[in-house]
Chain A
Amino acid sequence: MFETQTVPRPAKTPRIVFCALAFLAGLFVVALLSSFFVGPSDIPSDLRARLEPPLFFGGSWAHPLGTDELGRDMLMRLLVSIRTSLLVATLGTLIGAVLGTAVGMVAASYSGIVDDALMTLVDVQASLPFIIIALAVIAFAGPGFWLFILVVGLYGWERYARIARSLTLSAQESGYARATAHLGGGSFRIYVRHILPNIASALLVALTVNFPETMLLETSLSFLGLGVQPPDTSLGTMIGDGRTYLVTAWWIAVVPGVVLSLSALSASLVGDWCRDVLDPVKSP
């Protein structure tokens, strides 16, 4: 038999990726639009309509997704929660990416002791489950919303740092970086204007992989009651509330849970696809 060449992946985007992208885009649009007319504190609670089931399970059009233990409309709470979870996940992902990339590039540009110190920190972080650290910090610093975003944002910084460091190490030896240096470009110019755009695609892949994980971290912590605090609500808080009513009112936990799982699934599918398209080095 002749040598069979492995066929390169077809350039056509799989249909399921389109569905995933559409779902995510829809989620973001819904979250943005809903912020114009509903806030966390203006969901009325109607104690006479407590624990009403969703539409096709014996409920009515008045509350298509049912109501919770205080008679609040589940659909409205869901909109607010989607917005919170997306906000935390987006900001958190960006914080981690910026911080990690900066650390990685600094480590690469100063070799020697700075590099060693930063990379030891990276190794330590990589060897610890992040949720333990996050739990410790959050509990002792109190339940502030912006602090929570910052803590969630720290998640995954060490991965960006590793990627940025190794790519910068090879990029700074390349012709264009040396040429800029010879022409008198300062180090800020070399690293931010020239090297960063060249290593951005690998970092972008890491970012798409990180997004769903950040979302899961936020919802896990909120589920445990240690993340987003009432009256604000996130998908995790809702699921945590629903846990108490699992036997009598399953929809309180299941509705936000399904939305959360679908978002994470879509984000993973999009992330996988991004990696196939953007990352020249195929990683499993």
Chain B
Amino acid sequence: MILFATGKLVRAALALWLVATLSFFALRMAGDPAMAFLPPDAPAVQVEQFKKKWNLDQPLPSQYAAYLVNIAQGDFGRSFSDGRPASKVVGERIPKTLLLLGASFAFIVVFGLTLGSLAALAHNTFLDRAIMLITVMGYSIPNFFLGLLLILTFAVQFRWLPSSGSDGWQALVLPVITIGTTGGAVVARFVRAAILDAKTGPHVRAARSRGLAERTVFLGHIAPNAALPTATVLGLLLGGLVAGGVVTETVFAWPGVGRLTVTAVAERNLAVVQTIVLLVAASMITANLAVDLLYGWLDPRVRQGGRR
């Protein structure tokens, strides 16, 4: 187990370093940040000053070395637009985003588990097909369009809920539905498939033949077997959640990291964009590491076998 955990840990560290390096070079290769940030007719003196101020006049390898050292010390550079530390600019947006994504995750779990189990229990009936059609629609409708439709209906037409901002629980409702619909639909389909799969196992037939009530068979024998693959899918959804957050926060003017990403990208704020990329990468890699370790602990086969 220790060997397994160390291996996973090394891999995670390697992945993080790779992301830091790739993001550094990709962003530097993609264009001169001074050119991107300053107006095209900026005088040469101003360009020089700008480059000096942000250490852009150094050769690339030494910029890279300085960048790695700074990151290790928790210094992610400064925001071009107002000169504040990028870690602070990003950091103050994190609580709002965590609130939104956390609520959306809860919505996905409840919505997905309910619809998925309903569809599986009513397998091959009208209800099953209706739920499946709803879920296909749920993951086909782009979340930014769903968000606009929700605003049009519940904010503009009925005036029940606010269309933007982040004050109070009412402001949370529409963004959560917008982000959660896609994920909830995916989970519902997956839960249905997992339950149908678990239903066919010999242990279920054995349980039935012992005369157990259908309820006991489902809760005690089918559900536990469907739970493990479902947990995996929930772990995989985190990436989609973050991506959905970027678009949805923009639609609803939610003051979180997602909206910051779009504004930072639009004003070409290099340090802030890079900090966000690293933040997202670090959280995703940590989450994956946690899932991997949990699996290794739960299932000895995973520990011994190599790659998937």
Contact = CB atoms under 8 A, between A and B. Distances in A.
A28 interface: no
Interface in A25-59: none
Contacts of B210: none
Given A120-B11, A129-B284, A132-B277, A284 B247 contact: no
A162 to B, nearest CB: 8
Contacts of A223: 142, 144, 247
Interface string B35-56: 0100000000000000000000
A149 to B, nearest CB: 16
Interface in B272-293: 273-274, 276-277, 280-281, 284-285, 288
A70 B303 CA distance: 63
A257 interface: yes
B97 interface: no
Contacts of A247: 156
B18 interface: yes
Contacts of A260: 142, 145
Given A131-B243, A216-B142, A137 B148 contact: no
A196 B281 CA distance: 33
A261 interface: yes
A180 B36 CA distance: 53
Nearest to B33: A140
Given A257-B145, A260-B142, A127 B200 contact: no
A74 interface: no
Residue with the greatest number of chain B CB neighbours at <10 A, chosen from A121, A130, A131:
A131
Contacts of B250: 224
Contact of A123 (B15, B26, B247): B15
Contacts of B194: 284
B145 A136 contact: no
A128 B189 contact: no
Contacts of B307: 119
Nearest to B250: A224
A181 B239 CA distance: 42
A253 B148 CA distance: 8
A209 B150 CA distance: 27
Nearest to B192: A284
Interface in A128-185: 128-133, 135-142
A137 B261 CA distance: 12
B136 A269 contact: yes
Interface string A230-253: 000000100100110011001001
Contact of A129 (B19, B22, B149, B239): B239
A133 B229 CA distance: 28
- By Cβ-Cβ distance, the 4 closest A-B pairs, closest first, are A284-B193, A139-B265, A265-B140, A140-B30
14 contacts: A127-B288, A129-B240, A131-B246, A137-B26, A139-B273, A141-B31, A223-B144, A239-B144, A246-B151, A246-B152, A257-B145, A264-B141, A265-B137, A267-B140
Interface of A: 6, 119-121, 123-124, 127-133, 135-142, 212, 216, 219-220, 223-226, 236, 239, 242-243, 246-247, 250, 253-254, 257, 260-261, 264-265, 267-269, 272, 284
